[in-house]
């Protein structure tokens, strides 16, 4: 089957009988649930965009079928540009709010499938083959995945095996001829109500796994309605209000869920790691996943920064506050974050290198890694700057019903801006509030701080993994010039 349309995506979702709960209720049909249908329709729209922009959004598999660009193995810089443009198009559909649009995990699994040599290296060729087959399955059926790669917060100061006497973190509890049996929980499946498949794979924390903890070393995938798997959503931030009132919350709540496995049988052909702690560590460290996924993530972040700069400028201009130097400086600061992000993406493409295995091109990880540590600071800072620019205007926002009521002549008079009608100004302020202040906006800010682990650990890794030779050589050149006479004599100079 070639790339899906939105209607095909919704049709499959409608038939699905996953065990998923929201506010105490088991959801029977996600596509009609008042708090979830907005999100489902937004994902469907992304699939429709594939056919509106086929030159960017589609590529071909080895059978000549049209499949999503995010599934490609990029082999040239042109391919990486195409991947970037495809991500950009999808991210613009929600102004960057839907961080886990299907391309996020499609790219992740394309990356894994392009490096099954790592599975060979650790003696797991059969599971590497499972992974390759799974990748072809999701690519050729154009599936949307969610992932839960973090064990629940219980006691972060001790290893996973010590959480609730080893019983809480996801782990293997048994095996049959055809399946492994798992129990335990994981967080935090963004997109869980809207995805076709649940995936489990190692996170950065997995690098600390101990050989004796092999039952926690798991990587697998199952359909969302797989028996023995339950999902518990957080509160919905989807406003059941008119699009005029909440232009973003009414459509773009991608949800987040805890997944609980209760003696769940995972078919062996869907298992990619089962107990091999060395491979579990290597998957994070050796397959170039970081470069690929941060390439996708920073493209989306660029869209968010563009939106923040655009809305900030619009507010400042309509309120006349961009006449003040410190407001110009605040807007300039957001512009700088945006431009540095754009430049880092260009630099990642220009510095891309062959993976040395099968000609797949890896974006240069250095500028991306730098952004990965900085973005959790830049986006919250940009949100703060918008608040400082907009002041109380975000709360001078009559609703659609107010606008249609008898107070409208007063609203038109007292809510006007220097260069905008009251209606135009209220629209800008409502849109901005839904991006920086509503409950969906609060979740979005938390997302930026944590979805790729926190800035503290990422920045620490940046230092640890940095190639320091060029910089050391520069310093050494000067140290070598600082010679005492006795040293020169001792060195025969």
Ligand X SMILES: Cc1cc2nc3c(=O)[nH]c(=O)nc-3n(C[C@H](O)[C@H](O)[C@H](O)COP(=O)(O)OP(=O)(O)OC[C@H]3O[C@@H](n4cnc5c(N)ncnc54)[C@H](O)[C@@H]3O)c2cc1C
List contacts with ligand X (CB under 6 A): 100, 147-150, 153, 156, 187-190, 256, 443, 446-447, 450-451, 453-454, 456-457
Minimum CB distance to ligand X, residue 126 (Å): 26
> Smallest distance, Å, CB 241 to ligand X?
22
When the beta carbons of 158 and 482 are compared against ligand X, the nearer one is 158
143 vs 315 by CB, closer to ligand X? 143
- Binding-site members are 147-149, 153-156, 190, 454-457
Token couple for 415: 């809510």
Distances (CA, A) of 326 to 333, 340, 342, 378, 388: 10, 21, 24, 18, 10
Cβ distance 345 to 364 under 8 Å? no
Say how far apart CA 275 and CA 7 lie, in whole Å. 40
Q: Report the DSSP beta bridge partners of residue 171.
A: 183
Give the residue nearest to ligand X (CB).
Answer: 190
Between 63 and 157, CB nearer to ligand X:
157
Compute the half-sphere exposure of residue 287: CA atoms within 13 Å on the CB side of its CA.
29
Cα Rg, the chain, nearest whole Å: 25
Shorter beta-carbon distance to ligand X: residue 188 or 279? 188
Nearer to ligand X, 195 or 352 (CB): 195
Residue among 210 and 457 whose Cβ is closer to ligand X: 457
Q: How far is the CB of 133 from ligand X (least distance, A)?
A: 23
Which C-beta is closer to ligand X: that of 152 or that of 390?
Answer: 152
Nearest approach, Cβ of residue 58 and ligand X (Å): 25
CA gap 15, 273 in Å, rounded = 30
| Residue 108: CB minimum distance to ligand X, A | 11
Task: In angstroms, give the least distance from the CB of 183 to ligand X.
Answer: 18
What is the residue whose two structure tokens read 């890896």? Answer: 362
| Nearer to ligand X among residue 313 and residue 377 (C-beta) | 377
Phi, psi of 180 (to 5 degrees): -105, 155
Question: Closer to ligand X at the Cβ: 148 or 360?
Answer: 148
Q: With respect to ligand X, which residue has the nearer C-beta, 225 or 445?
A: 445
Residue 220 and residue 237: Cα distance in Å, rounded?
30
User: Cβ of residue 418: shortest distance to ligand X, in angstroms?
Assistant: 38
Residue 38 sits at φ, ψ, to 5 deg, of -60, -45
Which residues neighbour 99 within 8 Å (Cβ) at sequence distance 6 or greater? 190, 254, 297, 300, 447, 451
Q: Give the shortest CB-317-to-ligand X separation in angstroms.
A: 32
CB of 63 to ligand X, least distance (A): 31
Residue 55 beta carbon to ligand X: minimum distance, rounded to whole angstroms: 30
For the four alpha carbons of 222, 45, 301 and 320, in that order, the dihedral sign comes to negative
Nearer of residues 200 and 316 to ligand X, judged by Cβ: 200
Annotated binding-site ranges for FAD: 147-149, 153-156, 190, 454-457
What is the closest distance, in whole angstroms, from the C-beta atom of residue 232 to ligand X in the complex?
14
């Amino acid at each position: 089957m070639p790339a899906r349309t939105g209607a095909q995506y919704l049709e499959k979702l409608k038939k699905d009988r996953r065990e998923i709960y929201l506010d105490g209720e088991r959801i029977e049909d996600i596509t009609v649930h008042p708090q979830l249908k907005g999100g489902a329709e937004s994902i469907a729209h992304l699939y429709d965009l594939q056919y509106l922009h086929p030159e960017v959004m589609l590529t071909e598999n080895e059978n000549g079928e049209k499949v999503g660009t995010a599934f490609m193995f990029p082999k040239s810089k042109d391919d990486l540009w195409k991947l970037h443009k495809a991500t950009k198009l999808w991210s613009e559909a929600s102004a960057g709010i839907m961080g886990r649009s299907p391309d996020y995990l499609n790219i992740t699994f394309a990356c894994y499938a392009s490096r099954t040599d790592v599975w060979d290296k650790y003696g797991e060729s059969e599971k590497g083959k499972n992974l390759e087959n799974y990748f072809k399955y999701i690519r050729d059926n154009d599936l949307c995945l969610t992932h839960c790669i973090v064990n629940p917060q219980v006691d972060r100061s001790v290893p996973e095996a010590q959480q609730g006497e080893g019983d809480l973190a996801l782990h293997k509890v048994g095996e049959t001829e055809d399946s492994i049996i798992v129990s335990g929980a994981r967080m935090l499946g963004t997109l869980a109500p809207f995805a076709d498949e649940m995936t489990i794979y190692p996170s950065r924390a997995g690098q600390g796994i101990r050989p004796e903890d092999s039952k926690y070393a798991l990587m697998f995938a199952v359909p969302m309605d797989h028996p023995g798997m339950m999902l518990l959503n957080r509160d919905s931030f989807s406003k059941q209000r008119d699009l005029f009132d909440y232009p973003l919350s009414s459509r773009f709540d991608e949800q987040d869920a805890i997944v609980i496995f209760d003696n769940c049988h995972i078919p062996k052909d869907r298992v990619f790691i089962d107990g091999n702690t060395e491979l579990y560590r290597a998957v994070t460290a050796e397959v170039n996943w970081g470069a690929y996924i941060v390439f996708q993530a920073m493209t989306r972040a660029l869209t968010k920064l563009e939106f923040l700069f655009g809305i900030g400028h619009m507010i400042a201009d309509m309120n006349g506050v961009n006449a003040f130097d410190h407001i110009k400086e605040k807007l300039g600061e957001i512009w700088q974050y945006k431009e540095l992000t754009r430049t880092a993406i260009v630099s990642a493409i220009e510095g891309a290198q062959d993976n040395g295995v099968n000609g797949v091109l890896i974006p240069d990880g250095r500028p991306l890694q730098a952004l990965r540590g900085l973005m959790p600071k830049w986006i919250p800072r940009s949100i703060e700057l918008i608040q400082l620019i907009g002041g109380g205007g975000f709360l001078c926002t009559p609703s659609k019903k107010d606008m249609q009521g008898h107070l409208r002549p007063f609203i038109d008079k007292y809510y006007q801006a220097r260069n905008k009608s009251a209606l135009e100004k209220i629209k800008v302020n409502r849109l901005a509030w839904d991006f920086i202040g509503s409950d969906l906006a609060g979740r979005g800010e938390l997302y930026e701080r944590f979805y790729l682990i926190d800035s503290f650990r990422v920045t620490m890794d940046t230092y640890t993994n940095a190639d320091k030779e060029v910089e050391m050589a520069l310093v050494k050149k000067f140290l070598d010039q600082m010679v005492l006479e006795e040293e020169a004599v001792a060195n025969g100079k």
